[in-house]
A and B are shown apart, each in its own frame.
Chain A
């Protein structure tokens, strides 16, 4: 090997080494940005999944609580976009599965052994929780999730617009359709039920005097009143009095705030932003009665913390959930009241929640207590999706509601068989 070629070779190798180091540096930079918070704290790393809350400061708050925990490094995955459940379910199968995640109580998660039994951390404070929230997380006497927040969902309306159009607050679905017609002008649509109408699918059933499943976990939603309600919703959908394809969907206060509609379906979480934008020009009412035996209804949604039973650090994850969502009442109160409004599921916190004691928030809490329907743990994601299809095919597409419900029955029956044998 000549000296010439040798020096040539080494010059190249220097370039190569430099390039390699640059590449490694880039990779290392990527690796440092994984939200695991460096090497502080003890050795345990936990990952928690949250859907993206819309209110400013929520992501920072969750990360702040996690940072204050000293016994493990908790990193937060904040999942934006509309399909939190699909992303959660698919990552639960992988090695990157979260140790702790927020979701709604659903039986298939318990039956498949996906979520850990949290009875031992909840039992000591069980009496402090809203009994309905304990009930909705209990299977065979064991409690599988800690409720963080309760989220009643109902209609918001602009008082001034209803007054101007001389419309009373609707108490039946017929009146709601009429109101939407009267409130619609060339600039403002009467009502916003979400772009795909699925947010009110539960209310349509409850307000028609039916239920998703009965006490024996049999189909209870397939009644004549529900069919009638679906037909009315179809009428509303095609009336031209509904706000559709707005830039923001029902869970965002913008449509009402910007005057795109006079009535909007929404959650309690939107109330602070709406009050800020609209002041006193804001009222609320529950989903109106459907049919002759109808009842007023409100969806009591909410989010709970679950521990991934198939994760690597189940005990550490439970300890974290216990610390944050059982012991740290300051953080729980902050989470429920400082950003969007949520009803605290624990009576000791709810008792001190002065922000919810007067005015419109107090009215919302009353709707929550009087007309609210909590999660049914047996009504799982597959069934919810099946009911989404009913709304899509009978309300939006204009198909026969009876046929759509029959198709839904089939899917729900298959799932019920899987869950209950």
Chain B
């Protein structure tokens, strides 16, 4: 790790000197350029990602209550504590269910939107922007809108007003966990925010599919619509789909903001892994050891899932492999 840092830091100086030299020199030195462009990013990665990960692993083996520089080594006690005597395992389960639902739904919705927008002959840019805009909204702000205007429990909330037309009684979407209406709130919010962004990814991929393929298929007698979608569009989108699913899965495991604001920590259900870790480490318990142990477990899980998914769906093999 340290070699990466020093090389990254050391490089900008010769880069400046090269300014006086003819331009060709800048282009020819590939190694220099590599470090010039990746260096700043790598330094950031090391400082803000790798060091904290290393620190967490170290903390997870110590009794670290009310401190992040502990001295009392406790071995695997924190892991035992977080796995047996906390709500963390429950949260992983809650969460896997959530991911199993939200990932395919977002995938399908953003692909659907991309296909629709791609079909448009006019106002395509307008619709592309409209669907993309929610990406710019923060989860916290959206959570407040969902909570205080769309899904309030009172009769004048939007959802309850609509239900009221059909004579359905007011529903307390968030306070009352049975039946679990809160999932409607959480899932709809996440769909609204996420779909537009992934739609753009799909749209770019769709526009990259060579038109000749469709022409060839038409000559071979494939019907426009379902048949071409199934045998040409979908296989051509495989690399993008894999990346999207991967990103969605990671985003789902990282879910925090909207759960924290909508469900709050004063509940025992719909607590995501990150919320449990927040409660353990940063909330009122201030137990950084147990919190770090949970964080390490979560990181491992994300790694395993990502690798397994890459293996199954062929992430990284890309288009060239075919």
Say whether A associates with B. Answer: yes
Binding site for B on A (CB under 8 A): 1, 5, 9, 82-83, 85-86, 89-90, 93, 112, 187, 195-196, 198, 237-238, 240, 243-247, 260, 381-382, 385, 388-389, 391-393, 396-398
A246 engages B169 (CB within 8 Å): no
A243 engages B267 (CB within 8 Å): no
Q: Which of B140-163 contact A (CB under 8 A)?
A: 147-148, 151-155, 157
User: Is B68 an interface position by the 8 A CB rule?
Assistant: yes
State in angstroms the CA–CA spacing of A398 and B176 once bound together.
10
Cβ-closest 7 pairs across A and B: A245-B153, A244-B172, A244-B175, A244-B153, A381-B284, A245-B172, A392-B268
Q: How many A-B residue pairs have CB under 8 A?
A: 81
B175 engages A89 (CB within 8 Å): no
State in angstroms the CA–CA spacing of A247 and B176 once bound together.
15
B66 engages A112 (CB within 8 Å): yes
Chain A residues closer than 8 Å to B153, beta-carbon distance: 195, 243-246
| A237, A243, A260, A391: the one within 8 Å of B176 (CB) | A237
B20 engages A86 (CB within 8 Å): no
B154 engages A392 (CB within 8 Å): no
User: Is B174 an interface position by the 8 A CB rule?
Assistant: yes
Shortest C-beta distance, A88 to chain B (Å), equals 10
Chain B residues closer than 8 Å to A398, beta-carbon distance: 178
Chain B residues closer than 8 Å to A195, beta-carbon distance: 153, 174-175
State in angstroms the CA–CA spacing of A240 and B173 once bound together.
13
User: Is B5 an interface position by the 8 A CB rule?
Assistant: no
B267 engages A86 (CB within 8 Å): no
| A1, A240, A243, A388: the one within 8 Å of B154 (CB) | A243
| Closest A residue to B157 using CB positions | A245
State in angstroms the CA–CA spacing of A1 and B177 once bound together.
75
Interface centre among A82, A86, A89, A93 (most CB of B within 10 A): A86
Chain A residues closer than 8 Å to B178, beta-carbon distance: 397-398
- Asked whether A245 and B174 contact (CB < 8 A) given A93-B68, A392-B266, the answer is yes
Chain B residues closer than 8 Å to A86, beta-carbon distance: 265, 278, 282-284
Chain A residues closer than 8 Å to B286, beta-carbon distance: 89-90, 93
Q: Which of B271-291 contact A (CB under 8 A)?
A: 278, 282-286
Chain B residues closer than 8 Å to A243, beta-carbon distance: 153-154
State in angstroms the CA–CA spacing of A83 and B155 once bound together.
27
| Closest B residue to A394 using CB positions | B268
Shortest C-beta distance, A203 to chain B (Å), equals 17
Binding site for A on B (CB under 8 A): 19-20, 66-68, 147-148, 151-155, 157, 169, 172-178, 264-269, 278, 282-286
- Asked whether A245 and B152 contact (CB < 8 A) given A196-B266, A392-B266, the answer is yes
Chain A residues closer than 8 Å to B157, beta-carbon distance: 245
A245 engages B173 (CB within 8 Å): yes
State in angstroms the CA–CA spacing of A289 and B194 once bound together.
50
B172 engages A9 (CB within 8 Å): no
B268 engages A247 (CB within 8 Å): no
| Closest B residue to A380 using CB positions | B284
A9 engages B19 (CB within 8 Å): yes
B152 engages A246 (CB within 8 Å): yes
Shortest C-beta distance, A115 to chain B (Å), equals 13
State in angstroms the CA–CA spacing of A83 and B66 once bound together.
18
| Closest B residue to A418 using CB positions | B65
- Asked whether A388 and B266 contact (CB < 8 A) given A244-B153, A260-B154, A382-B284, the answer is yes
B154 engages A246 (CB within 8 Å): yes
Shortest C-beta distance, B265 to chain A (Å), equals 7
Chain A residues closer than 8 Å to B67, beta-carbon distance: 93
- Asked whether A244 and B268 contact (CB < 8 A) given A93-B68, A187-B155, A382-B284, the answer is no
State in angstroms the CA–CA spacing of A21 and B301 once bound together.
46
Chain A residues closer than 8 Å to B173, beta-carbon distance: 245
State in angstroms the CA–CA spacing of A196 and B176 once bound together.
9
B283 engages A89 (CB within 8 Å): yes
A85-B284, A89-B282, A247-B152 known; 20 new pairs, CB 8 Å cut-off, are: A1-B20, A86-B265, A86-B282, A86-B284, A93-B67, A195-B175, A244-B176, A245-B147, A245-B154, A245-B173, A245-B175, A246-B152, A247-B148, A260-B154, A382-B284, A392-B266, A396-B177, A396-B267, A397-B269, A398-B178
Chain A residues closer than 8 Å to B264, beta-carbon distance: 82, 196
Chain A residues closer than 8 Å to B285, beta-carbon distance: 382
State in angstroms the CA–CA spacing of A385 and B66 once bound together.
18
Chain A residues closer than 8 Å to B20, beta-carbon distance: 1, 5
A389 engages B68 (CB within 8 Å): no
| Closest A residue to B284 using CB positions | A381
B282 engages A396 (CB within 8 Å): no
Chain A residues closer than 8 Å to B169, beta-carbon distance: 240
Chain B residues closer than 8 Å to A198, beta-carbon distance: 266
Chain A residues closer than 8 Å to B151, beta-carbon distance: 245
B267 engages A392 (CB within 8 Å): yes
State in angstroms the CA–CA spacing of A139 and B190 once bound together.
48
B154 engages A247 (CB within 8 Å): yes
- Asked whether A397 and B284 contact (CB < 8 A) given A112-B66, A243-B153, the answer is no
| Closest B residue to A82 using CB positions | B264
| Closest B residue to A5 using CB positions | B20
A393 engages B175 (CB within 8 Å): no
Chain B residues closer than 8 Å to A1, beta-carbon distance: 20
Chain B residues closer than 8 Å to A82, beta-carbon distance: 264
State in angstroms the CA–CA spacing of A247 and B145 once bound together.
10
| Closest A residue to B151 using CB positions | A245
Chain A residues closer than 8 Å to B172, beta-carbon distance: 244-245
Chain A residues closer than 8 Å to B282, beta-carbon distance: 86, 89-90
State in angstroms the CA–CA spacing of A300 and B66 once bound together.
29
Chain B residues closer than 8 Å to A93, beta-carbon distance: 66-68, 286
State in angstroms the CA–CA spacing of A1 and B20 once bound together.
7
Chain A residues closer than 8 Å to B266, beta-carbon distance: 196, 198, 388, 391-392
Chain B residues closer than 8 Å to A246, beta-carbon distance: 152-154
- Asked whether A89 and B284 contact (CB < 8 A) given A82-B264, A112-B66, A243-B154, the answer is yes
B154 engages A389 (CB within 8 Å): no
Chain B residues closer than 8 Å to A83, beta-carbon distance: 265
State in angstroms the CA–CA spacing of A244 and B282 once bound together.
29
Chain B residues closer than 8 Å to A90, beta-carbon distance: 282-283, 286
State in angstroms the CA–CA spacing of A1 and B17 once bound together.
12
Shortest C-beta distance, A5 to chain B (Å), equals 7
| Closest A residue to B68 using CB positions | A93
